[in-house]
Amino acid sequence: MRAAPVLTLIGGTAVLPTPVPRKARATAAEREAKAIQAGEMIGRLLPAYVELHRLWAKGSGEAHAYVDANFSEEERYAGRGPADTARKSIYKNSGADTAQQAMNAFCRKLAPLARLIEAAPAETMKGLRAKALEVQP
């Protein structure tokens, strides 16, 4: 709710404050241009994200394969037992945990770009390409 304007007395004369002009809303073309730029940024970041995901998947696979081969089902799903310790150790030694942290940082960087692309209209082929590249982190 907006407050009512306050009259100010200057030299015995009542003066209303000057209204602050509102920022003009971006046109569809401007929003699409920003979405295209965001799509290009995602395109540049995506190969690095894919490489991190590959490293994480390799380490995660190794950890789960070791635990599956060396512990009973009851031990694997017990939570804080030797199987969980072994899994965490292999995650750390293989670099899967570091890759996971880096992927989380990428997702935090990609999320605003994806929201910008999602909200923008696609009126050109470049805009449509940006929408097709959108990543849902």
d(CA 45, CA 98): 18
**Residues 75, 83 contacting (CB under 8 angstroms):** yes
Encoded tokens for 4: 């009512």
**Residues 55, 96 contacting (CB under 8 angstroms):** yes
Angle between helices 82-94 and 96-119 (to 10 degrees): 70
Q: Which residue is associated with the tokens 């050109």?
A: 124
d(CA 51, CA 40): 18
Is the pLDDT at 1 greater than 80, yes or no?
no
For residue range 85-123, list pLDDT tens digits in order: 999 999 999 999 999 999 999 889 888 988 888 888 888
For residue range 50-62, list pLDDT tens digits in order: 999 999 999 999 9
Q: Which residue is associated with the tokens 């979405």?
A: 35
| More confident: 11 or 40 | 40
Q: Once rounded to an integer, what is the mean pLDDT over residues 30-59? A: 91
Q: Where are the beta strands (DSSP E) in the chain?
A: 8-10, 13-15
- Name the residue ranges covered by the structural domains of the chain: 26-133
